[in-house]
Amino acid sequence: MTTLTDAEFHEITSYINRNYGVSLEKKRMLIEGRLGSYIHSLGFDNYHDYFEYAKNDPTNREASNLLNRLTTNHTFFLREEKHFEVYYATVLPWIADGMSDRDLRVWSAGCSSGQEPYTLSIVTLNFLQERGLSWDSVILATDISESALEYGSRGVYPADELETLPSAWRDKWFEKVDGGCFRVNKTLRDSVAFKKFNLLDEFGMKRPFHVIMCRNVMIYFNSDTRERLVAKFFDALRPGGYLFIGHSESLSAIENKFEYVRPSVYRKPL
């Protein structure tokens, strides 16, 4: 396997941190494990030459591929299921009680390959149908990885990835396709809008959100970046809005204005 030199390690981690806020300074083994064989398969015998190729790819696809390889976590439908229970039993009823314009605003920030926003949308659509409500309930799903967004937009998943879902959900929201895979049906696919977005950029959203899910994303950021991002999430939520973070994450170590609801769930004061 190609050896990652100190200079190459610094070069790659500095670029990723500067452009995406992702801190990989303690992830040397991860970088070697996820890139070593890959760059060799492309014909490169050192990380520097591959990195120059990735940075200078005019389509930006290889830089996106590099980032995706170094940051993508394993994700699945109904991951951290308790969050979706809180969303269904507590958050959606609160929204329904105060809804005046029928415009539900939910953001899956760091959506990876789509399992999280599709799960959010299933829970939302089931709630609306049970209550006979009609809202504009399209979920905003963003990520910095183009390949992850393309995967999510296609909405085709191997059968074993649906095993975490209740069978009634699988029957209602998915259709079988070739290759032993299942595709999100059109209703569900149309209910999620996938967009590329860097969380370091200014948000610029025109209207505030009821809910923001940003789970297992900030683990890659240093404390200063996390604090700035949480402040931007706070400003992007309407009063009473909810922020969900990963079960292994906490806001206790950074300055923030949120009210604590339960582990990994926070609320903007009303």
Judge whether residue 1 has pLDDT over 80: no
State the SS3 of 115-160: HHHHHHHHHHHHHHHHHCCCCECCEEEEECCHHHHHHHHHCEEEHH
Angle between helices 28-41 and 6-20 (to 10 degrees): 100
Banded pLDDT at 73 (limits 50, 70, 90): low
Q: Read off φ and ψ for residue 229, nearest 5 degrees.
A: -65, -45
The pLDDT, as a whole number, for residue 80 is: 92
pLDDT band at 219, cuts 50/70/90?
A: confident
pLDDT per position as a tens digit, 92-125 = 999 999 888 999 999 999 999 999 999 999 999 9
φ, ψ at 112 (rounded to 5°): 55, -130
* pLDDT (0 to 100) of residue 51: 92
Instruction: Check residues 269 and 60 and name the one with the higher pLDDT.
Output: 269
Q: Which amino acid is at 31?
A: I
Q: What's the rounded mean pLDDT across residues 222-232?
A: 94
The whole-number average pLDDT for the span 202-211 is: 94
Rg of the chain on CA atoms, in Å: 20
Residue 234's pLDDT band (cuts 50, 70, 90): very high
Domains detected in the chain: 6-71 (1.10.155), 81-267 (3.40.50.150)
Rounded distance between C-alpha atoms, residue 182 and residue 223, angstroms:
39
- 61 pLDDT exceeds 70? yes
Predicted TM-score (pTM) of the model is: 0.85
Kindly tell me if the per-residue pLDDT of 208 is higher than 90. Answer: yes
Instruction: Evaluate if residue 59 carries a pLDDT over 90.
Output: no
pLDDT at res. 72: 65
Q: What is the DSSP string of 189-245?
A: HTTEEEEE--TTS----SS-EEEEEE-S-GGGB-HHHHHHHHHHHHHHEEEEEEEEE
Q: For residue range 168-184, what is the model confidence (pLDDT) as tens digits?
A: 999 999 999 988 899 99
pLDDT of res. 90:
98
Tens digit of pLDDT for each residue in 82-92? 999 999 999 99
**Distance (Å, whole) CA 48 – CA 37:** 15
Q: Which of 222, 196, 202, 223 is nearest to 13 (CA)?
A: 222
Q: What is the pLDDT of residue 25?
A: 86
Segment 125-137 mean pLDDT: 95
What are 109's strand-pairing partners? Answer: 142
- For residues 219 and 26, what is the distance between their CA atoms, to the nearest angstrom? 12
Q: Residue 30 pLDDT > 90, yes or no?
A: no
What average pLDDT does the chain have? 92
Kindly report, residue by residue over 237-253, the tens digit of the pLDDT.
999 999 999 998 999 98
